[in-house]
Structure 1
Amino acid sequence: MRLVCISDTHSMHRQVKVPDGDILIHAGDCLGVGTLEELEDLDNWFSEQPHRHKILIAGNHDWCLQDEPAEAEALIRNAIYLRDTGTEIEGLKFWGSPWTPVFYDWAFNLARGPTIAERWQQIPADTDVLVTHGPPAGILDQVITASDSQSVGCDDLARRLEQLALKMHVFGHIHESYGQQTVNNCVFINASTCTSSYNPLHPPVVVDL
């Protein structure tokens, strides 16, 4: 099964050349300022994509999905929206969650420690593909500046992953750490489409499972 992964398109999805595949996964920050109008346009774009299945989670820029969940979720007709929920597609079990550790005052932020760890404990033990907006600590989570780099991923998520036997973990959030890495037979993908300067230049990541 071919999975095509994108994230952090920030309402520039129409500038992204998306290859064909079986499942298109969007790991959050799909919107620019987080309006219902942006979300409706995204859903229309999903309808134009050839993939048999599409999966979407929210990210910290996707305000309408946090603040107006009923109205926003009703607009998603052409993708499976996961918010601490799962779905099974052709034998693969997916789980999606939007939360990231508190950073300033963004959407879907939770305090590090027990508060966010409680969300990660909801991930079922038999999950094959995990989709979160942010990375686990230590994997494709480096924020890079002119003077240094810093690991900003979620330690609590990393600890939960040690208890799981995932095939694949898709995320974004940290634009500078776009890429993929295999650890303990799990393929980790930072699918951030936008660069650190918010240009949608990173191509979708394609993985065959």
Structure 2
Amino acid sequence: MASRVDTSFLILSDTHGDQLIHPVTTNVDVAIHCGDLTEESKLEEYQVAIKMLRGIDAPLKLVIAGNHDFSLDENVFETHLSEIRDKINDDQLLDTTYGKVGSARSLFESEDAKSAGIIFLDEGTHHFNLQNGAQLTVYASPYTASKSKGWGFQYNPDEQDHEWNIEKGVDLVLTHSPPQGVLDYTDSRTRAGIPSLFGAVAQAKPRVHCFGHIHEAWGAKLVTWRDELSEPPSHFTDIDNEKSQLIDSRAKLSRGKFDTQDVIEEKENRRRDYQRQGYREINDVAICESEQTVFVNAAIEGAEGGQQQLPWIVNIQLPKQASSVKKSGKKRENSSGIVDETDTERKRLKSTG
């Protein structure tokens, strides 16, 4: 009996309260949203996001917050509510627009969301037994580095670094921020990713690291790691560029200044083909476990108003799950029978046999 199970992931991020212009009708095993579900953290925007996720044909849909989703960050949201009350003094309007502390979170914990297979992930390691028989381990984190105030799930890198507790053996890393050095260039050609996040991913070497946040850096890259890593790891020294591959990027699909007419037409034809199917698929890349990682920036919101980039479908092999799954303990099981077992609880179960 095979010890690996083919598993498909639909990955998207940064929808900012919008539905998908190019709906995805293809069935996948897991759908993932890497944060910025909203633009202004309004309840109606979360409801749009949940409606969009319900329309995706997948038994499990994993969701994290982004910096725009500040009402999911309780401490930040309390500060926002206090500041807004001082300006408008209309509690009913505030409740209708943003809800109270916990209102946004409750939308993702409602029966409506659960019945659609939607699970909102807090920071940490999560274990899932998938409907296709595979076992999936995910590290999730909504945090980004910023010196600005008022956004959710952010820290000032000048004051402290963030601790990314990514263990070896994690199959997929799900963050809102990119790591420094991979699919993180802004339009001003500066790196916006986080160095310590790159280091943590380099040491763990997951099969996939997906994120968003930097819209203009949409794309996917297969990274081959060097045999020995620097301390701390850096994208300058620890990626074997000769054995790595940029699978696609916004630049590779956009008209370039020196493109010939043939190249322009080829890019337009490829873009139309992807739009017709509603996604860009990685289907011809074999990932060598513990040697390579596929990085995916799945930011949907485009460079100009109303434009959308495409989500990604990534196909990987996962370990086959054990034949029996314990049903006791602190686990969340959705209507499809998919179990989310927290890392702390899994360790407790192991220690008690």
Cα distance in structure 1, aligned partners of 2:160 and 2:43: 28
Q: Which residue of 2 aligns with 1:139?
A: 182
Q: Deviations over 1:19-70 (max 9, x none)?
A: 4211111101111211122212322332232111101111111122113663
Partner of 1:99: 143
User: 1:114 deviation in Å?
Assistant: 7.9
Q: Are positions 1:84 and 2:123 aligned together?
A: yes
Report the equivalent of 2:31: 24
> How many angstroms apart in 1 are the aligned matches of 2:180 and 2:141?
16
CA gap of 1:169–1:115, structure 2 versus 1, over 3 A, is same
Give the residue type in structure 1 aligned to 2:135: G
Measured after TM superposition, the shift of residue 157 of structure 1 is 0.5
Unaligned 5+ residue runs, structure 2?
Answer: 1-6, 78-99, 225-291, 317-353
Q: Report if the CA contact (8 A) 1:17-1:203 is conserved.
A: no
| Mapped partners of 1:206, 1:200: distance in 2 | 20
- Cα–Cα, structure 1 residues 19 and 190, in superposed 2: closer, same or farther, change >3 Å? farther
Gaps of 5+ in 1: none
**What is the aligned counterpart of 2:107 among 66, 69, 75?**
75
Please state how far the C-alpha of 1:96 moved relative to its aligned partner: 1.3
Equivalent pair of 1:180/1:189 in contact (CA under 8 Å): yes
Give, in whole Å, the separation in 2 of the partners of 1:169 and 1:114.
26
- State the secondary structure of the residue aligned to 1:142: coil
TM-score w.r.t. length of structure 2: 0.54
Q: Distance in 2 between matches of 1:2 and 1:56?
A: 16
Q: Deviations over 1:134-183 (max 9, x none)?
A: 100000000013xxx10110011011112102000000000111000011
Aligned residues: 204
Contact 2:178 2:213 in 1 (8 A): yes
Q: Residue 162 of structure 2 aligns with which residue?
A: 117
Paired letter, 1:12:
D
Shift of 1:103: 4.3
Q: Do the aligned partners of residues 74 and 92 (structure 1) sit closer, same or farther apart at CA in structure 2, a change above 3 Å counting?
A: same
Matched, 1:183 2:223: yes
Tell whether the 8 Å contact from 2:19 to 2:48 is kept in structure 1 after alignment: no
| TM-score normalised by the chain length of structure 1 | 0.89
Question: Which residue in the other structure is 2:214 paired with?
Answer: 174
Q: Distance in 2 between matches of 1:58 and 1:47?
A: 17
CA distance in 2, matches of 1:41, 1:109: 24
In structure 2, give the amino acid aligned to 1:53: L
* Greater percentage in helix: 2
Secondary structure of the 2:186 match is: strand
Change (3 A) 1:138 1:199: farther
* 1:163 matched to 2:203: yes
In the alignment, does 2:65 pair up with 1:58?
Answer: yes
Q: Which one has the largest radius of gyration? A: 2
More strand by share: 1
